[in-house]
A and B are shown apart, each in its own frame.
Chain A
Amino acid sequence: MADGTLAPLQARLRPILEAFVPAVAHATDAEVAAALARTDARLAREPAALRRQLRVLVTALHVLTFLFTLRTLRSLDIAARARFLLRVQDGPIGKLRLGVWGLRTLLFLGWYGNPQAGAALGWRASKYGWDAWTGVQPWAPLPPFEGRARASNGAPGHVPEDLA
């Protein structure tokens, strides 16, 4: 069995991860495992109690789905899963709200923290900045200078006369 906090729960987590990031529906098991490994690496810094709570939360979300929809989480389509989990996240129980928020944040970290996933969104920052930029050129004209003030209290490096 895989090591870590969430990796051993891959089968139960996948339908949740798909609800958070629909593109995961097209991902291989290896890609999902790599995302969970990134999340687990981050979780390794967290207290053991928190890691335990996360594992309980994953089970609780499956149980809650069944109780409220009489369907398994896996059998709902991705949009319906996301709608249900959003209801939990916006619901009245503070602990569940924070739990879902925390879980989605950690799973985002694992998924979007992968440079390829970032690039797939269109993030093209590079060390070489403008020199390597292959995208559009700036298009909105800068407003005329009178339209903006510069530095509220003095030119950089200078002391205004009244304070000299």
Chain B
Amino acid sequence: MTANKVEVDVVVIGSGAGGGAAIQALGPLVHAGKKVLLLEKGPRFDHTQFSGQELDMAGTLYAAGGGFPTADRAITLAFAEGLGGSTLVYTGTSVRPPRRVIDGWKVPGLEYRDLVHRLARFERQNGVDFVPDAKINDNNRLFAEGCRKLGWTPEQFAVNLRGCRGSSLCNLGCPNGAKQGTAYVQIPMAERAGVEVVTRARVLRVAPAPAGPTGGQGGVLDVEVDGTPVPMGAPSTWAPGRWIVQAKDVIVACGAVHTPALLLRSGLGATLPALGRWWTCQPAHILVGEHDRPLTNAVGHPKSFLWEERIVEDRYFLEACMYFPFVTAKNLTGFGPEHERLLKAYERLQMILVLACDDALPDQRVAIDAAGDPVVHYRLTDATVTAMVKATRAAARIFFAAGAKAVHAPSARPTLLTRDEQDRIDERVHERHFHRGAVSVSAAHLMGGCRMGEDTATAVTTPLGQVHGVPWLHVADASLFRTALEINPYLTVMALAEHVADAVSRKHGVDPEAARA
């Protein structure tokens, strides 16, 4: 069967935080007579179909049904597949990157000031604001209250909502279309500008365009359009089967797992030793505190507060959070009568998410298997375990200060700490009880693998996101990060992606700043 062929000026692959921001930035190229295309592997969803049921929605929206494992199966990686990428399932925590991290990257030409200007614009587009006091649930109140009683300073962060009803289902796809993301904001703007968006189109490989009368410039994509029916989501606008897309510039934004995998599949590993490496994910786990009385926990926006005063010294931060029955069951260490008793206290549970800032190391990496699918070789280092244990101790103190009568800590044995053990938290919660593989660790802040920088031994992309040595190929997603961001990353991903897309716009003769003005 012969493949269909399409020629465009610029193609963006992937439509999450990075791809969505990039495609919006490229919209003005259409007015200048250029053809711009967005290819997304997952379907386009209609949020009114989102059921709020944990398994259905995880199976529909997440890669591997929400259970994408690291190679040793010790950590679960969460990322979504659909128009909007992981912004379909993110909580919407909208925080700016710490200046120390961006400055520490030492990427020439990447200025903190420039990023802040860009992300402030995305904040306005996404309706980023604080949840009003009256709509903050007990789970968040108790986090703030616990911190305050300890003399610590909790920070209220803003979230990106328009018309939030407080259904608390953000990580299962917002059924009210209230949580803003690229599928609702940036991609529709790009479509209005004339960009073509094709879903259920998986890019298998990228290669240089063959030389010839019209070729020899840019890249060629081997694309597979999936026509198998899915329970939720629209069919592709392209016919199922193989497509060849030729583009003068190709921007890859498949996320920190699939972007390195696509480039590796395309044979770029031989010339780019850093490809897939220095990969980080801010590993996280949930802690639970049990109160005497019911709380508002599974109602209201789930997240409004964080505490990060120990981030520089101890490499962790804490956020209020609330998860669903299966995820909660999975995250409570162990099983049996005590595990079940605690789950049955769901209405009285307070939750805190412990996040570690992991070091970017060359051996933490994305590779591919024989079929070309990604395999993530990532191990929790001793330093990360220590950070998680310290974070657990701090979270336990917050729970008790907020009035909890017991705290479930995966790195304690027995796992349940009672109020009368408050003075023994350091002794009870300890690295020696953190059994790798028996603690439910997951990660949703996936970063690196195509890091920016000038040195090709340690970087894959230039400071403008162009793949070293391949002038037509660019990266615009979380894989650009040089290190863990030490905070929730989506706004920074968007700002960086726009920075990359702007360079491509200039290449095509369009001044992006003037176009935005």
Contacts and interface: CB of A to CB of B under 8 A. Distances in A.
A109 B175 CA distance: 22
What 5 A-B pairs come out closest when comparing CB atoms?
A82-B336, A129-B166, A118-B325, A129-B165, A113-B55
A79 B336 contact: yes
A115 B154 contact: no
B458 interface: no
A130 B300 contact: yes
Given A82-B336, A109-B55, A150 B156 contact: yes
Contact of A94 (B136, B144, B300, B437): B437
A124 interface: yes
Given A98-B73, A108-B330, A163-B117, A125 B138 contact: no
B305 A104 contact: no
Contacts of A109: 55, 326, 330
Nearest to A150: B156
B9 interface: no
Contacts of A156: 94, 120, 123-124, 128-130, 158
Interface string B62-73: 001101000011
B326 A153 contact: no
Nearest to B403: A140
A113 B325 CA distance: 7
A89 interface: yes
A100 B440 CA distance: 12
Interface residues of A, number: 69
A69 interface: no
B325 A149 contact: no
Interface in B369-399: none
A124 to B, nearest CB: 6
B335 A102 contact: no
Nearest to B72: A98
B437 A98 contact: yes
B336 A22 contact: yes
A137 B323 CA distance: 19
Contacts of B95: 151-152
Contacts of A122: 294, 344-347
Interface in A121-164: 121-131, 133, 135-143, 147-154, 156-160, 163
Contacts of B346: 121-123
A111 B155 CA distance: 37
Interface string B324-335: 111001100011
